Structure 1
Amino acid sequence: MPVDLAFGEDALWAPSPDRVSESHLAAYCDHLQREHGRRFADYRELWQWSVTDLAGFWRSIHEFFDLDITEPDRVLDESATMPHVDWFPGATTNYAANALRERGTGAAVVSLAESGVPATLSWDELRLKVGALAHWLREQGIEPGDRVAAYVPNTAEAVIGLLACAAVGVVWASCAQEYSADGAHDRFAQLEPAILLVADGYHYAGKTHDRTAEATALADALPSVRTVVWIDNLGLLDDTTEGPRFDQITATGREPEFTRVPFGHPLWVLFSSGTTGKPKGIVHSHGGIVLEHTKFLALHCDLRAGSRFLWLATPSWMVWNVQVSGLLCGATITTYDGNPTWPDPTRLWQLAEQLDLDYLGTSAASLIAAQKHDADPTTVAPDLRLRGIGSTGSPLPPSTARWIHHVLPHVWLASASGGTDICSAFAGGIPTEPTYADQIQGPLLGVALESWNDDGRPVVGETGEMVVTRPMPSMPICFWNDPDSARYIDAYFDHYPGIWRHGDWITVTDHGGVIVHGRSDATMNRQGVRIGSGEIYDVVDQLGQVRDSLIVGIELDDGGYWMPLFVVPAEPVTEPDSFGQAIKRAIRDGVSPRHVPDDVIVVDSLPHTRTGKKLEVPVKRILQGADPTTVVAPQAVDDPAALARFTEYRRAR
């Protein structure tokens, strides 16, 4: 597939002819021409076909990668309206069977903690441990459709747990241990898990964090749990800790048995941010994830057998699930239990060197921190051999993209934008095309992405709502406990019936790039993890010294992110610093450190709608520079003066 020479000369990076010809994407195009007589002049023609002939495209992914999915009655009924689309009806598959097709002594999972040295599991060792845990689950009477919840750090044991559950057809859900027991309970209690997998703690910023008490409290709060399985991550377990040990269960390896399940069988539950009420459980399917993740990682990240792959994440973030799916491509995946920017941002490059990575995925915030620290990778990691860097979680500033190209001129920077909702990306890397500082390369194959104006019409070169006009196989099969799909439809299809509205402001450029301007709703985004205001209000509203509060997240022009909490105190505050620190401690203890606001700002009053709802989106837009009279009708606000005062806070900032 040739590089499109019509692109401008201001590109930061362009693939060499050899890199283009050796890419998975080029091999896929050769396959389409050789086997089906389809020839495409460039990626844009290929993309147009992929979103026009959905059945032909997704069948070709199944075929090209020889995925273990039986022949369906059909790929999909293309006349069906989202979200009521049935993919690959009649077909059976199993995610773990596809992820564990490799065999031998080559490295499958390399795990590393802050204070340790890398440990490696070969493909054969991984298979046997997955088989042992899957067998144990079946011995406990766990059956397809049952749930296993995991309160764990990013370790190899978590990967084994997910794969073992998938092998049995059990539904997996995980939550990082930075969450409090209450925060994890808000997620897991909805699922009524039968087994709870927990670790004794995790590493972060040069410290070990004992979570045995939180894990025990979580188990006690989940009456459905029959058995708690303990991972001895920090060496804190002793004879007083009740429950079987993960290492003992998996010590004697066993060849895995894979329960074949329907294509649409639930694989895992990811959780929404909890903006309104409890976090929503988003359910994805075995078959949908196998197809989508294989396409994304092989064609858009250019992973292949033997590639060394790390996408820094915790098990609360969908990127962790994507990381595990590197196994679908035969890649060696790596896990990291720790802070990748501690003791300073140079650690990012040292990790990539130490783990001998081909592809490093991280948050835009980590790359911005490295730039601000001027962490030149060639100095701190002279043996670095990265081929690609993935950036997601928030928009990457052009200045940071230019800096990365300056310090690593031969590395492909592939920014991406996606979501927990589809557990993948909508727009991202294209290994056969140039990259530009100010935009993502383009929409991914099979993603009918458009920017719509207020009239519901697609626009180019203008900012609009990001929509997806045709279905994707990794769109949720449902929300948990949403039998009539009412919450699911309300989340994505309330504005444009039958059209997915994601909630991002984007611009599609003249040559097909995508610029993401930030959220069009009130969901916040801290270091790549979506945070719901509802989780923070759950803590703050319980504090007797607080009468009212409002929190927003603001994307700044320099690429930074500001998350202030505005508080109306119950009594006059004489020591604002102490008052703010007490609130921050309560949020840290009640939810997680990631939820702690950057600033606690004391105000006299806060605006609401006439029905008492907090005005998060209008406040966010005012803090971004909008005129208060343009963001909400004054007659709809109980205190217009309180809303207008946010212009003062913006000037002060």
Structure 2
Amino acid sequence: MTGMNGPLWTPDPTFAASTHMARFTRFANERCGAGADSPRALWRWSIREPEAFWNAVWDFCGVIGERGERAVVDFDRLPGARWYPDARLNYAENLLRRRDDTPALMFRAEDRVRRDLTWAQLYDTTSRLAQALGALGLAPGDRVAGYVPNMPESIVYMLASASLGATISTASPDFGVQGVFDRFGQVEPRVLLAADGYFWQGRWYSSLDRLPEIVRRLPSVERVIIIPHTDPEPDISAVPRAVLFNDFIGPWQPREIEFRRLPFDHPLYILFSSGTTGIPKCIVHTAGGVLLTHLKEHQLHADIRRGDRTFYFTTCGWMMWNWLASALASEATVVLFDGSPFHPRPEVLFDYADEVRMTQLGVSAKFIDAIGKEGLRPRETHDLSSVRTMVSTGSPLVPEGFDYVYRHVKSDVHLASISGGTDLCGGFVVGHPLLPVWRGEIQAPSLGMDVDVWDEEGRSMPTGKGELVCKSPFPSVPAGFWGDEDGNRFHEAYFDVYPGVWRHGDWMEWTEHGGVVIYGRSDATLNAGGVRIGTAEIYRLVDRLPEVLESIVIGQPWENDTRVILFVRLADGQRLDGELEGRIRMEIRENASPRHVPARIVEVSDIPRTKSAKISELAVRAVVMGEPVKNSDALANPEALEEYRDRPELRR
């Protein structure tokens, strides 16, 4: 860790020279004449010469398939550009390029289940399941769904389905019946995969009690495949059209998988928006777009190499599960964990990192904040020598989070804060193994992503805070929204503010180092006294107080203006008295501005969050304003909203 005025981490020259990014830069210069003498120059070339860049990614990463002559058609249209119109490929074929006896998947479900699959076992099990699904008549374009923990069979199911050209959607088993129906009911899957239950904080939860109603409400489902997970012999008799996983694949022996090579833009995944402002949007992602984007992010930006052990703490309801699964295409072992990251003790993920020798350790920014509040010092209690990269996303990682990682987790790790989303199944701004890490900053825009900051009039902003936009097409622009026949909803979601330019909905600023700071969602940005304030600016100050475990902030319309309302969840034994309120206000006033100081500070016992652990400012704002929360079932803890309703402090 470097001093306060310098970077927190700088790549060692020997390490830097060995990275995929360094090799790719040489490749692009020699093969494509990129003329890139710096990371910034390589990024400029990647957006100036998109055909040459994406062809270089295809070749460097060894995509399996026929590329065809044309890289992109109608590049001047966003949306509307078509990538690799002559290509044929299969996503699963690219992920199953190994068949040896080293681990492909490593799995732990808290302290209850431990299981690994070799590459050969992964291939063979996928082969058997693909044959069984094929015998049902599953064809390209058919939809399949998984209501599953983050476990090996979920990956196998995705690979088998993708090998046949089916389109896959997943949801985590903590979703209720309505949450599952809101998602899968729209896409009408033919096959549903589910586990008998899951573990959370040492307890067992059944899925079998919900499945009969879920299946009843999904008449398109012809077969339900049940994975024994919490019980080796679950009773599935109440679930219509159900069969146990091993019985379903039992008649089939492993053989060569007949991968169906399909067009680049063939639909691979239907991902879902969080759904807290209405029924979730069904975002259709293409096989080629996902594959090429993830290969670029994994190999170039995250430096994932053959034989690495890559982990991200995620559920199957978050796009980071799809992102993690793609690491198989880089011939890395994918490390899976399901359950609470704090059970049976807060250090469990660091125990796991040492046990399996993780090389990439991925967590949320909120997790880093939580273990800091717990006082964990993994640097003193764990080895972690295998960990080269620590990835953080889900919300902006505050400067104090950077400090904590380098002081108390690992001083020589590449900390890569990244930001993107389900909308593109990837990142706009990401880590970079050849650049230094500066406190509180995301290192760089992702290669091939024409990212900029714009003001409300559509003018580029070299300095100051504005909207994150992407000015040119990229391969993982979604094919559209499922069921949005005329494309209006898709257009309104990203292109209604700046025609022909993707507006992502994040509030962003360039830094003097060429990196970026994300200040939160622009639709949750506060507008107090005519000044736009990013909510992350307040969180970073409030949440570093030891008395505050976490907080959520909204803008409340008040007397022809907007006032800032701050809700805080306090540590055990703490109470919101005048002294603590005063310190919170002083912290914000002195380190942000008087405009940031909340008009009201309110103590709460819980913070509403989505299934992917993101705090839900919009749901809280709706409750405070007396408006309906359009889809509270999308929240992990919808009961928490009641505490925000009709607060007397907010009526004066």
* Global fold match (TM > 0.5): yes
2:76 corresponds to 1:86: no
2:49 matched to which residue of 1? 53
**SS of equivalent to 2:459:** coil
AA at the equivalent of 1:19: F
Provide structure 1 residue ranges, at least 5 long, that are not aligned to the other structure.
Answer: 1-6, 525-551, 568-582, 615-642
Aligned pair in 2 of structure 1 residues 39, 554: CA closer, same or farther (>3 Å)? closer
**3-state secondary structure, aligned to 2:491:** helix
Task: Identify the residue that residue 606 of structure 1 maps to in structure 2.
Answer: 625
Cα deviation, residue 37, structure 1: 3.5
For 1:453 and 1:255, locate their aligned partners in 2 and report how far apart those are by CA, in whole Å.
54
TM-score, structure 1 normalization: 0.81
Instruction: Report the Cα offset of residue 120 of structure 1.
Output: 1.5
Q: 1:153 aligns with which of 132, 149, 156?
A: 149
> Are the equivalent residues in 2 in contact too, given 1:405–1:411 (CA < 8 A)?
yes
8 Å CA contact 2:148, 2:193 repeated in 1: yes
Structure 1 counterpart of 2:376:
375
Map 1:614-633 onto structure 2 (within 5 A). none
Amino acid across the alignment from 1:562: S
- For 1:185, the aligned partner's letter is F
Secondary structure of residue in 2 paired with 1:418 = strand
1:115 counterpart residue number = 111
For structure 2, list consecutive stretches of 5 or more residues without a partner in the other structure: 527-534, 544-549, 557-603, 631-644
Would the aligned equivalents of 2:277 and 2:619 in 1 still touch at CA under 8 Å?
no
Q: 1:639 aligns to what?
A: none
Aligned partners of 1:62 and 1:291 also within 8 Å: yes
Cα–Cα, structure 1 residues 93 and 245, in superposed 2: closer, same or farther, change >3 Å? same
Identity, % of aligned positions: 36
Q: Deviations over 1:258-299 (max 9, x none)?
A: 011111000010001224321010000111111000000110
8 Å CA contact 1:345–1:366 kept in 2: the answer is no
User: Residue type of the partner of 2:194?
Assistant: V
Q: CA deviation at 1:211?
A: 1.3
Cα drift, residue 605 of structure 1: 7.9
In 2: Cα distance, 1:35 partner to 1:565 partner? 51
Per-residue CA deviation, residues 615-638 of structure 1 (Å, 9 max, x unaligned), is xxxxxxxxxxxxxxxxxxxxxxxx
Q: Which residue of 2 aligns with 1:409?
A: 411
Q: Which string of whole-angstrom CA distances, capped at 9 and with x for unpartnered residues, describes residues 474-533 of structure 1?
A: 110111001211110000000000000000100011221010000111499xxxxxxxxx
Q: Equivalent residue for 1:496? A: 498
| Local SS of the residue matching 2:523 | coil
**Deviating 4+ runs (over 4 angstroms):** 552-555, 563-567, 591-605, 645-651
Please say if 1:515 is aligned against 2:479: no
Cα deviation for residue 35 of structure 1 reads 2.4
Name the SS for the 1:437 alignment partner.
Answer: coil
**Equivalent position amino acid for 1:102 in 2:** R
Report the AA paired with residue 356 of structure 1. R
Residues 93 and 263, structure 1, Cα contact 8 Å, conserved in 2: yes
Give the Cα–Cα distance (whole angstroms) in 2 for the partners of residues 29 and 291 of structure 1. Answer: 17
C-alpha contact (below 8 Å) 2:75/2:82 kept by paired residues: no
Aligned residues: 569
| TM-score, scaled to structure 2 | 0.81
1:354: how far off? 2.0
Matches for 1:221-240 after TM superposition, within 5 Å: 221-235=217-231, 237-238=234-235, 240=237
Q: For residues 601 and 33 of structure 1, what CA distance do their matches in structure 2 show? A: 51
Is the contact made by 1:468 and 1:501 (CA closer than 8 Å) also made in structure 2? yes
Match 1:203 to one of 199, 203, 209: 199
CA apart distance, 1:71: 2.6
Give secondary structure in 2 for the equivalent of 1:56: helix
Give the deviation of 1:453 after TM superposition: 1.3
* d(CA) in 1 for partners of 2:623, 2:64: 61
Determine which of 69, 92, 97 is the counterpart of 2:93: 97
1:624 aligns with none
Q: How far apart, CA to CA, are the structure 1 residues paired with 2:477 and 2:468?
A: 15
Is the contact between residue 148 and residue 170 of structure 1 (CA under 8 Å) also seen in structure 2?
Answer: yes
Question: Which residue in the other structure is 1:483 paired with?
Answer: 485
Query: 2:509 is matched by which residue type in structure 1?
Result: T
What corresponds to 1:628 in structure 2? none
Letter in 2 for 1:248: D
Q: Which residue of 2 aligns with 1:438?
A: 440
User: Are the structure 2 counterparts of residues 601 and 198 from structure 1 closer, same or farther at C-alpha, using a change threshold of 3 Å?
Assistant: closer
- What does residue range 121-160 of structure 1 map to in structure 2 within 5 Å? 121-160=117-156
Provide the secondary structure at the position in 1 that maps to 2:504.
strand
Answer yes or no: is the 8 Å Cα contact 1:185–1:218 preserved in 2. yes
How many Å separate the matches in 2 of 1:500 and 1:598?
23
Aligned equivalents of 1:505, 1:354: Cα separation in 2:
39
Q: Does 1:14 align with 2:20?
A: no
Preserved contact between residue 452 and residue 465 of structure 1 (Cα < 8 Å): yes
> SS of the counterpart of 2:311?
strand
Q: Relative to structure 2, which stretch is displaced further, 251-260 or 24-33?
A: 251-260
Indicate the residue corresponding to 2:72 in structure 1: 76
Structure 1 distance, partners of 2:618, 2:292, is 43
Residue 72 of structure 1, CA deviation: 2.3
**Aligned-partner SS, 2:15:** helix
Q: Answer whether contact 2:277 2:618 (CA < 8 A) is retained.
A: no
What is the deviation of 1:41? 1.2
Q: Is the 8 A contact 2:104 2:334 kept in 1?
A: yes
1:421 counterpart residue number: 423
Q: Give the whole-Å Cα distance in 1 for the aligned partners of 2:108 and 2:503.
A: 38
State the Cα RMSD in Å.
3.3
Following TM superposition, by how much is the alpha carbon of 1:454 offset from its aligned partner in structure 2, in angstroms? 2.1
